[in-house]
Amino acid sequence: MNKNIKFVQGNEACVEGAIYAGIDFFAGYPITPSTEIAELLSRRLPQKGGKFVQMEDEIASVCAILGASLTGHKVMTATSGPGFSLKQEAIGYACMAEIPCVIVNVQRGGPSTGNPTHVGQGDINQARWGTHGDHSIIALTASNHQDVFEMTIEAFNLAETYRTPVILLFDEAVGHMREKLVIPEKNEIPIVNRLRTALKKGVDYHPYLPREDGRLPMSDFGGDHRYNVTGLLHDMWGFPSNDPKVVKGLLHHLNDKISNNIHRITRYKEHYLEDAEYILISYGSSARTAIHIAKNRRARNEKLGVLELQSLWPFPKEMVREKCRNAKAVLVVEMNMGQVLAQVKACIDRPETVFLANRIDGELITPSDVKSILRVIQGRGV
Amino acid sequence: MKRTRLVFSGSGGQGVITAAIILAEAAVIYENMNAVQSQSYGAAARGGSTRSDIILSDSNIYFPEVTSPNILVCLTQEAYAKFSPIIRPGGLLITDSKFVQTFKKIDAKQIELPMYETVMGKIGKPIVFNICMLGALIGITDLLQFDSIMQVLKTKIPSYFIKMNEKALKTGIDLGSQQRQSL
């Protein structure tokens, strides 16, 4: 028996990933179906010298992690749809002030308090545009527990690399089901730690002056350097500015640091995709249904494959267009009214060949749901 | 490729979900299989019908739910009425004879066992009813080893309850293996 093998819920795999990545501060407010993340971290974090705080609500939780991150900690909070709505203002603040943080949204049925104990994937667009203004964001997702573990580590790594909030968009089905998780040995998966300024105490430090490579070294707030942090558009010292040149420069910087690195941020998996004539595009728990179908169809020599997206934002347009170039038809499998469908249609050469297989009733989309739509697309009737 | 699809059903508080987790964990950690366990539940803390799905396989499992089980366990009349139609033809249906009165013939082996009454008679605590059910299941099917279940139990429950659970598991195995001979 391998001591690194665990049989856990997806939410626990997320906790294990966060711990592997070096989380040392979590603030949260419990909400189904994400509660296990807070519950487990309330035990695990104090054991390793970290801090767990249950705050009075979701807004306070996200604000607490932003403060902790500025002082040099690796931070995360976890919630579901209603809590994710409340966190939007602070997510915008984190984008503007460039504060590394990880926000987990274990999606349930929405809108509003919706369907708390059932699965949904309706927060895809909210993850991108939930907070106002021209901003950029990274959102990752996963369909199985090994990937939940790895994507959680990726989220911390990308947050530190690009000084940005990273959203982990899991869903109730993956969050609550149990399956195997193998925890890698230390150092098997690279960890990105904070880039700190080399400037000594007392030397002028410009918190928002990018280096040549575009990165901004940080200084632990309250430590060696005094600086200002604000949600207002700001200059290189962090002080508010409405100088048009400064405003324009900062907005470009905030967006370009993500969009110029799409190829580095994009994560995806291919299942039987090489010569596929029909391509299912999916992510999260619905990708499990898609892969199930592809595996069975391949056994019958049908050329059907799955493109599983693991990064949803920035949307990997070039990659999706390239992978689907030779497909007769593309079927987006998701549990919403077509949020990723719209992205795929917008980036693909022949949008008329893109179809939706969805389910929005709180149940996991089944292989027969998808197969019946596939029959219609393939001209084989219902 | 060997694949077993199970559904455990009953009412909230009977421990069907716990039993499902123990079974699947034993398969993954001590018998080197793949397993996926999931459950559906509403907002109620207890009562209502509960269902947990388990898939055991030697290969990767993608779609995690069971649409037609090879093995269906029903511990209440409501669960029996609701789920007995979905059993896979030729499958195995296990019911508790105190709580379930089977009313129709289905294309499956039907085994009615006095699990609850035996547990109450021999141990006197309904809390281990679910462990007795797990014992009956492995007594009938050889799905997993006794030791694997015990290993998981030892990691999950306080040491002073181990003996009681072990007794319940063995009681279930006895009940189940008698049935195997009659199959």
Cα–Cα distance measured from residue A216 to residue A210, given in angstroms and rounded to the nearest whole number: 5
CB-CB under 8 Å, B35 with A7: yes
What pLDDT is attached to residue B105?
81
* Spatial CB neighbours of B23, under 8 Å, sequence gap ≥ 6: B6, B35, B37, B54, B134, B137, B143, B144, B149
The boundaries of every CATH 3.40.50.920 domain in chain A are 269-377
- The answer to the question of residue B97 being in a domain is yes
In tens, the pLDDT along A357-378 reads 999 999 999 999 999 999 999 9
CB-CB under 8 Å, B38 with A176: yes
In tens, the pLDDT along B79-123 reads 999 999 999 999 999 999 999 999 888 889 999 999 999 999 999
Q: C-alpha distances in angstroms, A151 versus A8, A91, A145, A157?
A: 16, 19, 10, 9
CATH architecture of A269-377: 3-Layer(aba) Sandwich (3.40)
What pLDDT is attached to residue A382?
82
Across A128-138, average pLDDT: 98
- The answer to the question of residue B183 being in a domain is no
Domain topology for A5-182: Rossmann fold (3.40.50)
- The answer to the question of residue B140 being in a domain is yes
Q: Is A365 near chain B, with CB under 8 Å?
A: no
A191 C-beta neighbours (distance < 10 Å), count: 14
In tens, the pLDDT along A185-239 reads 999 999 999 999 999 999 999 999 988 888 899 999 999 999 999 999 999 999 9
Q: Is A176 near chain B, with CB under 8 Å?
A: yes
| % of chain A beyond a pLDDT of 90 | 97
What pLDDT is attached to residue B43?
62
A97 closest CA partner among A241, A207, A260, A244: A207
What pLDDT is attached to residue B183?
52
Q: C-alpha distances in angstroms, B87 versus B1, B41, B176, B179?
A: 20, 20, 20, 20
3-class DSSP state of A374: helix
For B87, the domain range is 3-178
What pLDDT is attached to residue A107?
98
pLDDT over 60 at A96, yes or no: yes
Q: Is B30 near chain A, with CB under 8 Å?
A: yes
Q: CATH no. for residue B144?
A: 3.40.920.10
Calculate how close chain B gets to A78, using CA atoms only, in Å.
20
The boundaries of every CATH 3.40.50.970 domain in chain A are 5-182
For chain B, the domain total comes to 1
> Do the beta carbons of residue A297 and residue A256 sit within 8 Å?
no
Closest by Cβ to A116, choosing from B28, B39, B43: B43
Q: Is B57 near chain A, with CB under 8 Å?
A: no
In tens, the pLDDT along B12-55 reads 889 999 999 999 999 999 999 999 999 987 666 566 788 999 99
CB-CB under 8 Å, B24 with A364: no
pLDDT over 70 at B71, yes or no: yes
Supply B48's token pair. Answer: 């209502």
> What pTM value is reported for the model?
0.96
Which residues in chain B have their CB less than 8 angstroms from residue A366's CB?
Answer: 63, 65, 67
Q: Is A142 near chain B, with CB under 8 Å?
A: no
pLDDT over 70 at B10, yes or no: yes
Q: Is A180 near chain B, with CB under 8 Å?
A: yes
